């Protein structure tokens, strides 16, 4: 088959032809309206925006849990919440934040941004993407409904056995937890496959590897990490723990040769990379923001990319540092200490490169930039306590105490939440076509910054002074009352900051200043199209000639012509140099992803109660698969004299 042809001379702009093309694209890519349209859309932008919004709802719900926990802990021997309810609250807080907020919001932002940043029309598998969202939604609703029905999981987000096993956790609470993990794990794997395929095969012509934006590299790294981390927790929870509880397998039953330590190994082999999966896209956000608001490329691009990969890779070698107090041979522990200490080097390198970028650029302190800088100021505190925790003797003192709670909230708030809010302020104009209020944004930032420090800094001392984690109350003689009260007050600042943000979003979504295509003067491809982008993202596929296309391209953007506008299709390019190679038809709206997700929902929610759910579920899923894969004739015939992928395959062709 012939490859693409470079025209000998650029065609002059033809506005009449362009307008007709846009009209044709409008017809071909038009989204369906109403509820049916909402349920069947496969547009990555619609799906991603609702995905992000859903994650923020879970953030609010899990955050409400935390607010209640803080109220209970504000005074010694408080009777606001009893132990049973408290155990559910902290378990669902952790589970919700980790599985339903931190990772999915990062993948959801990637699902929105990646096709736009690499210059293509949609993700590689649009229907799969829709399926991933629905499965995620079902899992999240399942968790919180269970909590509100007093059936919430109550053995911690890490659910150690034997406490979470059939003998010590009767009832269905832990089964709910195990299956929530299943749903979120499927959704994460879907997102990972989408990101990898899109980044490797759908980049705009000319976007060779060394021209890929740093943010895109960061989500590519976590996509690979997800492929290895998620299956591990799925085996542990969906298979082993659920089976121990449901059909009396003995994976963790010491009496029959099982091993509670196996759970810890599997869970933390997932759990440690999980926190880097949340954090590494934050690094990508910070790079994108600092680049734009200093007006220069991030210094040290190759080293920045290498740092992302090294961090992601080494993250898989740390997990035993969660188990230092357990019955493991001491010999291997030093290896994990070393890995946990030296993993800071790549991140430190990134911070120094950002500082160099700021030094040599022209910084503008928009809200997004404040959040990016706030990342450095907050995260590094968590980073240094992380290095301390890598030490076995020190960890044995503060493991499972409030010192650890302080550490991980600093790295999560600093490394995930601050960059995420920065990203919201940065990309909201692109998503909604409106600017968020900078004034409210500054309030949001400072309230969150103060709240984070007032809530979590005292916890370092609480941990050193002996306060363990996961306690619903404490005795007055311990002397922990003042610092707990201070932390509770701090939590109100955090809550206030979130309220300010919500007000900002609601006000600005309709009433904010209209954003143009590129209100920030940013360099990457998503800013080359309108705000919000049309369903087809780019009227013409961009052609990339540098790492910062919008800064280097000149008054007219180079583009590629030739993609059909009478049917939905995108361009597939080679993995290394992004040379145009083939094209692929993009599917229309479909209800089958939702139906498949419901089949999965029936399977795994049913599996809480009976193993036969797997049989029923498999059958339903096969039926849904049939509907999904059932071929439809394309509405647009192939060009004259040519066949296309949806032409009938006749014998003797």
Site for another protein in 164-223 (CB under 8 A): 168, 189, 192-193, 196-197, 200-202, 205
Q: Check binding of 635 to another protein (CB under 8 A).
A: no
Q: What is the 3-state secondary structure (H, E, C) of 157-211?
A: CCCCCCCCCCCCCCCCHHHHHHHHHHHHHHHHHHHHHHHHHHHHHCCCCCCCHHH
- Binders of another protein among 377-396, rule CB under 8 A? 377, 380-381, 384-385, 387-388, 390-396
- Angstrom distance (rounded) from CA 416 to CA 274: 12
Q: Which is nearer to another protein, 41 or 232 (CB)?
A: 232
Q: Which is nearer to another protein, 16 or 649 (CB)?
A: 649
C-alpha distance from residue 378 to each of 277, 373, 383, 388, 413 (Å) = 19, 9, 9, 16, 8
Q: Residue 418: which residues within 8 A CB-CB, separation 6 or more? A: 282, 371, 372, 374, 375, 378, 379, 448
Applying CB under 8 A, among 52, 242, 351, 412 the residue interacting with another protein is 351
Is residue 576 helix, strand or coil? coil
| Least spacing, CB of residue 575 vs another protein, in Å | 8
- Angstrom distance (rounded) from CA 182 to CA 604: 8
- Binders of another protein among 410-469, rule CB under 8 A? 435, 437-438, 442, 453, 457-458, 461-462, 464-469
| Least spacing, CB of residue 197 vs another protein, in Å | 4
Applying CB under 8 A, among 11, 16, 35, 576 the residue interacting with another protein is 11
Binding mask 17-56 for another protein (x = CB under 8 A): ----------------------------------------
- Angstrom distance (rounded) from CA 174 to CA 188: 21
- Closest among 262, 88, 258 to 177, alpha carbons compared: 88
Applying CB under 8 A, among 23, 145, 502, 643 the residue interacting with another protein is 643
- Closest among 592, 634, 606 to 131, alpha carbons compared: 592
| Least spacing, CB of residue 527 vs another protein, in Å | 9
Applying CB under 8 A, among 34, 170, 257, 640 the residue interacting with another protein is 257
Stretch that binds another protein, among 51-59, 111-119, 132-140, 544-552 (CB under 8 A): 544-552
Stretch that binds another protein, among 104-112, 175-183, 224-232, 272-280 (CB under 8 A): 224-232
- Binders of another protein among 103-132, rule CB under 8 A? 124-125, 128
Q: Which is nearer to another protein, 171 or 521 (CB)?
A: 521
- Angstrom distance (rounded) from CA 216 to CA 204: 13
Binding mask 275-294 for another protein (x = CB under 8 A): -------------------x
Site size for another protein (CB under 8 A): 205
Q: Residue 466: which residues within 8 A CB-CB, separation 6 or more? A: 401, 478
Applying CB under 8 A, among 555, 576, 640, 641 the residue interacting with another protein is 555
H or E stretch including 570? Answer: strand 569-573
């Amino acid at each position: 088959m012939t490859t693409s042809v470079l025209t000998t001379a650029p065609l002059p702009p033809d506005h009449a032809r362009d307008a007709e093309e846009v009209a044709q694209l409008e017809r071909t890519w038009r989204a369906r309206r109403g509820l049916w349209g909402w349920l069947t859309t496969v547009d990555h932008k619609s799906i991603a925006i609702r995905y992000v919004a859903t994650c923020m709802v879970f953030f609010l719900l899990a955050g409400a849990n935390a607010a209640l926990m803080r109220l209970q802990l504000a005074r010694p021997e408080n009777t606001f919440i009893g132990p049973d309810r408290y155990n559910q609250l902290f378990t669902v807080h952790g589970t919700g934040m980790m599985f339903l907020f931190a990772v999915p919001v990062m993948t959801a932002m990637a699902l929105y941004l990646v096709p736009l940043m690499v210059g293509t029309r949609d993700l590689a598998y649009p229907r799969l993407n829709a399926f991933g969202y629905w499965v995620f939604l079902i899992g999240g609703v399942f968790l919180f409904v269970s909590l509100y029905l007093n059936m919430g999981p109550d053995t911690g987000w890490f659910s150690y056995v034997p406490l979470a096993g059939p003998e010590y956790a009767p009832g269905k609470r832990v089964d709910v937890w195990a299956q929530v993990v299943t749903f979120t794990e499927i959704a994460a794997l879907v997102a990972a496959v989408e990101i990898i395929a899109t980044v490797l095969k759908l980049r705009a012509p000319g976007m060779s590897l060394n021209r890929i934006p740093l943010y895109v590299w960061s989500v590519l790294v976590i996509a690979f990490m997800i492929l290895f981390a998620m299956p591990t927790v799925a085996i542990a929870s969906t298979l082993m723990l659920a089976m121990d509880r449901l059909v009396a397998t003995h994976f963790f039953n010491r009496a029959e040769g099982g091993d509670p330590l196996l759970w810890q190994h599997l869970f933390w082999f997932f759990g440690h990379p999980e926190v880097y999966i949340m954090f590494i896209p934050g690094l990508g956000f910070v790079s994108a923001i600092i680049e734009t608001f200093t007006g220069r490329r991030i210094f040290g691009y190759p080293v920045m990319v290498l740092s992302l990969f090294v961090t992601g890779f080494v993250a898989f070698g740390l997990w035993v540092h969660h188990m230092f107090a357990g019955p493991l041979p001491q010999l291997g522990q030093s290896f994990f200490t070393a890995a946990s200490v030296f993993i800071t080097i790549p991140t430190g390198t990134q911070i120094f490169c950002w500082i160099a970028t700021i030094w040599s650029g022209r910084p503008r302190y928009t809200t997004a930039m404040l959040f990016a800088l706030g990342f450095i100021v907050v995260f590094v505190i968590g980073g240094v306590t992380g290095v301390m925790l890598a030490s076995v003797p020190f960890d044995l003192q503060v493991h499972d105490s409030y010192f650890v709670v302080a550490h991980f909230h600093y790295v999560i708030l600093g490394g995930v939440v601050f960059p995420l809010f920065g990203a919201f302020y940065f990309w909201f104009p692109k998503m909604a076509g409106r600017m968020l209020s900078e004034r409210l944004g500054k309030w949001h930032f400072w309230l969150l910054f103060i709240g984070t420090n007032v809530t979590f800094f005292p916890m370092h001392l609480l941990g050193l002074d002996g306060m363990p984690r996961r306690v619903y109350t404490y005795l007055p003689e311990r002397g922990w009352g003042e610092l707990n009260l201070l932390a509770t007050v701090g939590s109100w600042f955090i809550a206030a900051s979130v309220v300010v943000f919500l007000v900002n979003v609601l006000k600005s979504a309709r009433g904010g200043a209209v954003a143009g295509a590129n209100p920030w003067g940013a360099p990457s491809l998503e800013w080359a199209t309108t705000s919000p982008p049309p369903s087809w993202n780019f009227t013409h596929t961009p052609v990339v000639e540098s790492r910062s296309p919008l800064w280097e391209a000149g008054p007219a953007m180079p583009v590629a012509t030739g993609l059909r506008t009478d049917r939905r299709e995108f361009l597939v390019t080679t993995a290394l140099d992004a040379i145009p190679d083939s094209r692929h038809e993009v599917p229309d709206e479909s209800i089958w992803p939702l139906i498949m997700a419901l089949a999965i929902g029936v399977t795994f929610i049913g599996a809480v109660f009976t193993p036969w759910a797997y049989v029923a579920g498999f059958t339903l899923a096969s039926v849904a698969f049939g509907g999904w894969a059932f071929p439809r004739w394309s509405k647009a015939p192939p060009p004259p004299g040519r066949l296309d992928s949806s032409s009938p395959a006749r014998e003797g062709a």
